[in-house]
Amino acid sequence: MEKAIIGKKVGMSQIFDTDGRVIPVTVIEAGPCVVVQKKTVEKDGYAAVQLGFEDVSEHKLTKGEKGHLDKAGVSPKKHLKEFKLNKAADMNVGDIVKADTFAVGDHVDVTGVSKGKGYAGVIKRFGAHRLKSTHGTGPVARHPGSMGSGTDPSRVWKGKIEAGHMGVDQVTVMNLDVVKVDPELNMVVVRGAIPGPKGGLVTIRSTAKTIIEKKADAGISANPQKASARVNPQKASARR
């Protein structure tokens, strides 16, 4: 990957583009992060850097964590994450990675931990439907229902939907575009929603998807007999 940084989700907002259209955005406090460790192909078999984010009191670290940071000459950090960057070989311990690593128009993948929903049933957790509200179902309309044969295999097959803990899963939202960057406020604003609550830890990295730039006239035909060439003036998308 080309770029990466650690940050915290501040919350959602909205901005307006030059045409007056509203854009839902998420504000992220990105960095500053410091390079805590550098891994090389010769020593470790691959090239990567470990970034540290958010200062923390020294007494909240274990002796191993404190020794690791002291060796790098870095102040105590709360979060450490490793990234295999293309330019990892050119980075050194102590380098600072800031929000201006990203620019407006960049496409990024944002990873975070989703909100916890507690213990949930199959309807809320997996979108299962209710049982029939007619004779015979009893007071179990929201239960998962039959799970298979009784004698054979005498157990529930793995993978069946069940009630259980919902949320608190690592989720990655891919191919979001950066709409604003403010280095002074350590702020990166991306289009759309990202996982996690306000204040939740997130990582931003260059998207793994292949970006195909569409031409300006893509999908519009010059043939008036085709539907793509006919514009309905009554539709909101046709009014400027």
> What is the CATH classification number for the domain harbouring 131?
4.10.960.10
Q: Which residues contact 31 (CB under 8 A, 6 or more apart)?
A: 5, 6, 7, 53, 96, 97, 98, 99, 101, 186
53 and 145 part of one domain: no
102 and 192 part of one domain: yes
Of 166, 182, 199, which marks where a domain is finished? Answer: 166
Instruction: Tell me the C-alpha distance between 122 and 137, whole Å.
Output: 17
Half-sphere exposure of 220 (CA within 13 A, CB side): 7
Q: Could you read off the pLDDT of 208-240 as tens digits, one per residue?
A: 888 777 665 555 566 666 665 556 656 655 555
107 and 61 part of one domain: yes
Q: The tokens of 28 are what?
A: 């992220």
193 and 134 part of one domain: no
137 and 215 part of one domain: no
**CATH number of residue 43's parent domain:** 2.40.30.10
50 and 153 part of one domain: no
Give the pLDDT score at 31: 78
pLDDT in tens, the chain (240 residues): 788 899 999 999 998 888 888 989 999 998 798 988 888 888 888 888 889 998 888 888 888 988 988 888 888 888 898 888 888 888 888 888 888 888 888 899 999 999 999 999 999 999 998 888 777 777 788 888 788 777 888 888 888 889 999 999 999 999 999 998 988 898 999 999 999 999 999 999 988 888 777 665 555 566 666 665 556 656 655 555
CA-to-CA dists, residue 14 to 25, 45, 53, 179, angstroms: 5, 44, 27, 11
Q: Which letter does DSSP use for residue 120 in this model?
A: E
Q: Which residues make beta-bridge pairs with 191?
A: 25
23 and 104 part of one domain: yes
81 and 195 part of one domain: yes
138 and 156 part of one domain: yes
* Number of domains comprising the chain: 2
155 and 178 part of one domain: no
154 and 180 part of one domain: no
**pTM for the whole structure:** 0.76
Q: Could you read off the pLDDT of 96-129 as tens digits, one per residue?
A: 888 888 888 889 999 999 999 999 999 999 999 8
Residue ranges making up the domain that contains 203: 4-115+169-238
94 and 137 part of one domain: no
